[in-house]
Amino acid sequence: MNIGIASDHGGYLIKQKLTEYLKNKGYNVVDCGTNSIDSVDYPDYAFKLCEKVIKGEVERGVAICKTGIGMSIACNKVKGIRCAKVSNSNEAKLCRLHNNANVIAIGADLSMIEIKDIIDNFLQTNFSEEDRHINRINKITKYEEEHER
């Protein structure tokens, strides 16, 4: 599986550790930046990651900033992205199972143990394909299409 990963300066160190973890698990990791702890604008990296997801270059994305909030907001501005800001492994599992999230945003303030558990649940959980969940996602997609900016 190809996994895209992006961070701002606040998530850079976690991104580096997480990239190594994912590669060791056999994932192909596509790094969308940033490449240092120097201050940057998180939307630039969120958009780069999301474009790779939309184009099918990666199957899922992981966005990291200090809290995960900014990255989540930016990712969800990209048509076709369903990004969940997650703080624990149960949320990571449910965002896939119920919402078919294709990107998650996490905060760099979590421990690596928590982050690994979150990532494992996100990557190992498939969408449920239940009609009720499909219907809800379709409503979101329809609204998005009807209200393009």
- Where residue 136 sits, what CATH number does that domain have? 3.40.1400.10
The percentage of the chain sitting over the pLDDT mark of 70, rounded to a whole number, equals: 99
- What is the three-state SS of 48-95? HHHHHHHCCCCCEEEEEECCCHHHHHHHCCCCCCCEEECCCHHHHHHH
**Predicted confidence (pLDDT) at residue 149 exceeds the cutoff of 70:** no
pLDDT band per the 50, 70, 90 thresholds, residue 147: confident
Number of domains in the chain: 1
114 lies in which domain range? Answer: 2-146
The distance between the two most distant Cα atoms of the chain, rounded to a whole number of Å, is 45
Please give the positions annotated as active site.
65, 98
**The residue type at 46:** A
The whole model's pTM is what? 0.95
- The predicted model gives 91-114 an average pLDDT of 97
Residue range 91-120: mean pLDDT, rounded: 98
